[in-house]
Amino acid sequence: MTDPILSEDIDDKADESATSKLRAFEDAVFGKDAPRINGAVERGIGSPYARMTDHQKVHYAALERLVAAEKAVADASAAHAKAHADHAAAEKAALAAEEAAAESE
């Protein structure tokens, strides 16, 4: 018996976020009404998570790493944009200070 979620090519949806891919996997494997604790699927003994096959657990772990990596990229992009904005502001302030110093001489 083939698990449909394992044979589905999730990567065909390049515009879909990692979080969306993880949620689609959870909905397919656990059901849309799976018990959640702070948004995460419950993992205790007897939970749907505990009943996953080894292949499903590997797939799930890979999706969780993808979510974490996507968040790290987004955070790094935001920090990069902030660094550019800070640099531009510092450059503008330095130029203004240089001009003010030249005028006072």
Per-residue pLDDT of 34-92, as tens digits, reads 888 898 898 889 889 999 999 999 999 999 999 999 999 999 999 999 999 999 999 99
Is 34 a member of any domain? yes
Q: What is the CA radius of gyration of the chain?
A: 24
Cα–Cα distance measured from residue 101 to residue 93, given in angstroms and rounded to the nearest whole number? 12
Is 3 a member of any domain? no
Q: How many folded domains does the chain comprise?
A: 1
Structure tokens at 94: 């330095």
Q: How many CA atoms lie within 13 A of 21 on its CB side?
A: 23
Structure tokens at 58: 């590997």
The number of beta carbons lying within 10 Å of the beta carbon of residue 52 is 18
Domain of residue 34, residue span: 14-104
Is 7 a member of any domain? no
Q: What is the pTM of this model?
A: 0.71
Is 8 a member of any domain? no
**According to the model, what pLDDT value does residue 2 have?**
53
- Both ends of the chain: CA-CA distance in Å? 85
